Structure 1
C-alpha cells in the first residue's frame, strides 16, 4: 500500500456483562492515544489519520488489547477512506463547516 495519508474511523461496541461497556471503550481510546497517531475522539467513533500501515497497526492494537484483556465479545465498526494519488485528510472534508468567530 502507498504511504499517503488516509483517514479512518473505529467504533468499538463491547457486548459484555462483566463491566460497563464504556470502560472497554475508554481502554481502546487509551491505546489510540498512546500510539501517537493523529486522532479525534467523537461521541460515536474515533477518527484516525496516518499512513495506511500506521492506521491499520493501531486498529490491530486495539483489537489485540481487547482480546488479551478478556473482553468477551465486541463489534469493531470501521470506515476507511483512501486516495490513490495523494493524501486524504479529515480537515479537508470538514474545514468548510468550522465556525470562525
Structure 2
C-alpha cells in the first residue's frame, strides 16, 4: 500500500459479562494512545490517522490485546478511507465545523 495518510474509525464492542464493557474499551484506547499514531476519541468510535501500514498495525494490536487479555468476545467495527494519490486527513473533513 502507498505511504499517504489515511483515516480509519475503530469501534470495539465487547460482548462480555466479566466486567463492564467500558473497561475493555478503555484498555483498547490505551493501546492506541501508546502507539504514537494520531487519534481522536469520540463517544462511539476512535479515529486513527497515519499511513495504511501504521493504522492497520494499531488495529491488529488492539485486537491482539483483547485476545491475549481474555476478552471472551467482541466486535470490531472499522471504517477506512484511503485516497490513492494524496493524504486524507480528519482536519480536511471537519475543520470548517470547528
Q: TM-score, normalised by structure 1?
A: 0.97
Q: TM-score, normalised by structure 2?
A: 1.00
Aligned residues: 98
Matched, 1:48 2:22: no
Structure 1: 5+ residue stretches without partners: none
Matched, 1:60 2:66: no
- Specify the structure having the higher radius of gyration (Cα): 1
Q: Residue 72 of structure 1 aligns with which residue?
A: 72
Q: Residue 31 of structure 2 aligns with which residue?
A: 31
Structure 2: 5+ residue stretches without partners: none
Runs of 4+ with deviation above 3 angstroms: none
**RMSD, aligned CA:** 0.3
Q: Residue 83 of structure 2 aligns with which residue?
A: 83
